[in-house]
Amino acid sequence: MRFSVLISLDENFDPHLAQAENLAALFIALKDEVFEIRELAVCIIGRLCSINPAHVMPFLRKMLIEVCEPQCHYIIIIIIINLLRIMQHKLNNQKQTKHRTNVEERQYEIIKQNFKM
């Protein structure tokens, strides 16, 4: 049932999903016991980053902090570091093509400061 609901949330719903109250429900899906549901939630949240970064990024930051707590396994930390590197490459490419917005520029600076990249 949860999978069917998430799979039906296509780009048409993104403006509504990017609102703070709806984001909270999506982040609850990240803690689901079924991997496919967690995967769909990550894909949807990733889409929403470009629509409403002011609401999405604090949720993502909070989730990353929870994941990176000391009891976290080493492999998870490596995966997160690799994802951040991918984000850094994406942002660097946007900077080269001069399509980076002020919000994206600030997010890049926060990533550099917090993860010393």
Closest CA to 9 of 35, 45, 36: 45
Q: Look up the pTM and report it.
A: 0.55
Same domain, 94 and 115: yes
Residue 52's pLDDT is 80
Tell me the residue range of the domain where 73 lies. 68-117
The confidence score (pLDDT) of residue 71 equals: 58
The identity of residue 100, as a single letter, is: R
Mean pLDDT by 10 residues, the chain (117 residues): 83 85 83 86 82 80 72 69 76 60 69 64
- Per-residue pLDDT, 24: 82
Same domain, 50 and 91: no
Same domain, 29 and 76: no
pLDDT at 73: 65
- List the Cα angle 30/33/37 in 5-degree steps: 50
**Same domain flag for 51 and 85:** no
- Count: domains in the chain: 2
What is the distance between the alpha carbons of residues 117 and 114, in angstroms, rounded to a whole number?
8
Q: 7: which residues sit within 8 A by CB, 6+ positions away?
A: 40
Q: HSE on the CB side for 45, CA within 13 Å? A: 25
Residue 63 located in a structural domain = no
Same-domain check for residues 33 and 75: no
Q: Is residue 51 part of a domain?
A: yes
